[in-house]
Chains A and B, each alone.
Chain A
């Protein structure tokens, strides 16, 4: 029996965004990464192209993380005090498509390190790995406004992805990203209207839409994941329906958020009924990522190599 054709006809799409620049393009990256391009509901390629395969950016912190549980520290224990070595391990051993440097220690309460130190860290990572780089500020507006311009300048021409522009703090970061040729993360607190608004604000400053990646504050599995899931699903549908200002690729912060969950970080002694924490933490991260992928995600920031490997396999199966 013939079954009715249920393919939707979409007029819009998610824009393609390229991160990283090779030597010929004015940078020093060995490869570049292109994300986005979907013309269908995620993975429904019977109705249109599904776009580029989602990529994984592994987080590297610029300071030794104090509060990580042992199961998470274990794979990195030899490199936690060197962001460059840490990044190298992520790329060479764990297959990260990109590295996301989180500038935690510039935060006034988390080390208050100087812009010069941040610049040195960025340079060391650019040296150590050849994949494109994401540089994430500390989300303290004044500090980011002081440090990010210097960091941006130091990585000029590398077409990094810098985070980020928010509704109440976007001018400086957008201006330096524009000047230094980087891509920009626009962020919103699980709110589709604010998400769109930030895109409008930065594009009013002349920032090109094809260099924007959207970020809705991620919620982990069990901790508000469904809110982000639905916001991202709505963003994707809006993009496909032709809303230009929501047609950007999406990034999720899965590693950090999942490992805050009790279910991920509790030790076996604290939670014997939940099974071994050696698997439980990576699984929590894996499932947060995998489920969110169904709502439309292009870049996933992750922590644990086991979770990275599992999600990579999954995205290959979906390609």
Chain B
């Protein structure tokens, strides 16, 4: 729980020596409480005060870092329950499993497939982050050779899945340049796992089917010197897990409950290709730090990664498309030219309707700093000068002969000024994008 100014004051030297640059210890304490000062400004502060204040100011959900060579994967340090309150910070990791009991050919084939799970959408590359090696064989050699194969051949971050401390240790010796995540410590093996995690400086997943047990385990493991943990609330029921993830997030953020102040992981096991992605998407939206799946078909992974792309979009920041001239279908110099703004939602809606019209066309995405048509117009981010500049930048004159520009119906008022500025004929399009197909069919045939 955050400390009040008075609570902090009690921990300070109370000498009012002013070395911190504040007139009194109390003034300094008040600023600390408001996070406007740094404890290091007071040279005389006691070790005890440092510990207490340090712990109180630590983020409520611990940040965990995995490494795969140069690449770093981070999870944790979330600050809100709902994305509209601020935003979600570290996108949920998506991982796919690989069993160590697959035979050589099947193993390398799957490894290659998993490693290649990336897609490009809305101009951004999205891909999975993690590969999880499962010690299904229970055999130590198989586990370490599978781990070595993965560590040497995959660019992804690594999770090692085994209940055996001994098997885990041998796999850890062949992880190369990766800093893996160990799955898992449970009520039976936590002492050994915690010691191993501490020795190898690796984060540790803690598994239990009840939150109370998880809280017990994290405290015990903490006392063994491991602070980097991730919680695995491993109930088989969808609703239990969903509620568990919410309870953990709320306990950490609303109650500052340290024993559950960690990110979470869920392993989705389903024999149904749809339910597996439904569950993974649900957990992803509602607070899982990492989701791990067995399935890896593009038609399953791409929607899941798109959910992540959507949910982790900063709601404060409008998403933009590159402001330029886009070609839809086999457009040529006689095709219609429409302009809209570079707010991606606006742009893609227009693009979708132009496509639906089956009329090849050009769409000019005008840079309005990612705002919608009306917002941009009323904020003067959309005026005849802005449109003229966009047309010049895109060299529209070289590509289109007819000198006719279709403008959004919502800004019909721009017609006269645009005509004057561009010397083009201005056609007022429909107010709603859904009117575009019929508009194009009736005006451009």
Mask for B78-99, Cβ within 8 A of A = 1, else 0? 0000111000000000000000
Contact B82 A233 (CB under 8 A): yes
Binds A, one of B7-15, B38-46, B299-307: B299-307
Contacts of A313 in B (CB 8 A): 272, 275
Contact A110 B438 (CB under 8 A): yes
Name the prevailing secondary structure of the A interface residues: helix
Contact A230 B119 (CB under 8 A): no
Binds A, one of B59-67, B170-178, B310-318, B387-395: B310-318
Q: Which of A1-58 contact B (CB under 8 A)?
A: 1-4, 6, 41, 43-44, 46
Given the complex of chains A and B, what is the CA–CA distance between A260 and B356 in angstroms?
Answer: 9
With A109-B442, A274-B299, A274-B302 known to touch, is A41 a contact of B246 (CB < 8 Å)?
yes
Count, A-B residue pairs, CB within 8 A:
153
Minimum distance in angstroms from B162 CB to a CB of chain A? 27
Mask for A213-225, Cβ within 8 A of B = 1, else 0? 0000001011111
Q: Say which size band chain B's interface belongs to.
A: 35 or more
Among B257, B259, B278, B313, the one with the most A-chain Cβ atoms within 10 Å of its Cβ is B278
Contacts of A1 in B (CB 8 A): 212, 215-216, 219, 259
Given the complex of chains A and B, what is the CA–CA distance between A50 and B84 in angstroms?
Answer: 22
Q: Does B189 belong to the interface (CB within 8 Å)?
A: no
Given the complex of chains A and B, what is the CA–CA distance between A223 and B345 in angstroms?
Answer: 6
Contacts of B19 in A (CB 8 A): none
Q: Which of A230, A263, A273, A318 contacts B238 (CB 8 A)?
A: A318
Q: Which of B191-240 contact A (CB under 8 A)?
A: 211-212, 215-216, 219, 237-239
Contact B345 A290 (CB under 8 A): no
Contacts of A46 in B (CB 8 A): 243, 247
Given the complex of chains A and B, what is the CA–CA distance between A6 and B437 in angstroms?
Answer: 51
CB-nearest residue of chain B to A224: B345
With A263-B306, A274-B119, A318-B238 known to touch, is A294 a contact of B313 (CB < 8 Å)?
no
Contacts of A293 in B (CB 8 A): 282
CB-nearest residue of chain A to B250: A6
Q: Does A317 belong to the interface (CB within 8 Å)?
A: yes
Contacts of A127 in B (CB 8 A): none
Contact B82 A223 (CB under 8 A): no
Q: Which of A224-280 contact B (CB under 8 A)?
A: 224-227, 229-230, 233-234, 237, 260, 263, 273-276, 279-280
CB-nearest residue of chain A to B441: A109
Minimum distance in angstroms from A137 CB to a CB of chain B? 13
Mask for B106-144, Cβ within 8 A of A = 1, else 0? 000000000000010110000000000000000000000
Q: Does A283 belong to the interface (CB within 8 Å)?
A: yes
Q: Does A284 belong to the interface (CB within 8 Å)?
A: yes
Contact A310 B278 (CB under 8 A): yes
Contacts of A274 in B (CB 8 A): 119, 298-299, 302
Contact A229 B278 (CB under 8 A): no
Contact A287 B251 (CB under 8 A): no
Q: Does A286 belong to the interface (CB within 8 Å)?
A: yes
Contact A222 B310 (CB under 8 A): yes
Given the complex of chains A and B, what is the CA–CA distance between A225 and B260 in angstroms?
Answer: 31
Among A222, A276, A282, the one with the most B-chain Cβ atoms within 10 Å of its Cβ is A222
CB-nearest residue of chain A to B257: A4
Q: Does B254 belong to the interface (CB within 8 Å)?
A: yes
Minimum distance in angstroms from A34 CB to a CB of chain B? 21
Contacts of B238 in A (CB 8 A): 314, 317-318
Contacts of A233 in B (CB 8 A): 82-84
Q: Which of B237, B275, B299 contacts A275 (CB 8 A)?
A: B299
Contact B83 A230 (CB under 8 A): yes
Q: Does A193 belong to the interface (CB within 8 Å)?
A: no
Contact A287 B277 (CB under 8 A): yes
CB-nearest residue of chain A to B242: A43
Contact A314 B299 (CB under 8 A): no
With A1-B215, A226-B315, A229-B310 known to touch, is A287 a contact of B303 (CB < 8 Å)?
yes
Q: Does B327 belong to the interface (CB within 8 Å)?
A: no
CB-nearest residue of chain A to B345: A224
CB-nearest residue of chain A to B254: A6
Q: Which of B282, B297, B349 contacts A290 (CB 8 A)?
A: B282
Q: Does B444 belong to the interface (CB within 8 Å)?
A: no
Contact B281 A290 (CB under 8 A): yes
Contacts of A4 in B (CB 8 A): 251, 255, 257
Given the complex of chains A and B, what is the CA–CA distance between A274 and B120 in angstroms?
Answer: 10
Contact B349 A223 (CB under 8 A): yes
Minimum distance in angstroms from B357 CB to a CB of chain A? 10
Q: Which of B281, B304, B307, B352 contacts A260 (CB 8 A)?
A: B352
Minimum distance in angstroms from B188 CB to a CB of chain A? 18
Contact A230 B84 (CB under 8 A): yes
Q: Does A67 belong to the interface (CB within 8 Å)?
A: yes
Contacts of B297 in A (CB 8 A): 275, 279
Contacts of A234 in B (CB 8 A): 82, 84
Contact A230 B310 (CB under 8 A): no
Q: Which of B258-310 contact A (CB under 8 A)?
A: 259-260, 272-275, 277-278, 281-282, 285-286, 297-300, 302-304, 306-307, 309-310
Minimum distance in angstroms from B166 CB to a CB of chain A? 29
Q: Does A73 belong to the interface (CB within 8 Å)?
A: no
Given the complex of chains A and B, what is the CA–CA distance between A293 and B282 in angstroms?
Answer: 9
Contacts of A275 in B (CB 8 A): 297-300, 302
Contact A291 B243 (CB under 8 A): no
Would you list the 7 A-B pairs with minimal beta carbon distance, nearest first?
A: A109-B438, A275-B299, A6-B250, A275-B298, A310-B274, A226-B310, A280-B299
Q: A274-B298, A311-B278 are in contact. List 16 more A-B contacts (CB 8 A).
A: A2-B212, A6-B246, A6-B255, A109-B438, A221-B310, A222-B121, A223-B352, A224-B348, A230-B315, A233-B82, A233-B84, A279-B297, A286-B274, A287-B304, A290-B281, A290-B282
17 pairs, A vs B, C-beta closer than 8 Å: A3-B251, A6-B251, A46-B243, A224-B349, A226-B83, A229-B285, A230-B82, A230-B84, A230-B315, A263-B306, A283-B299, A286-B274, A287-B281, A310-B278, A313-B275, A317-B239, A318-B238
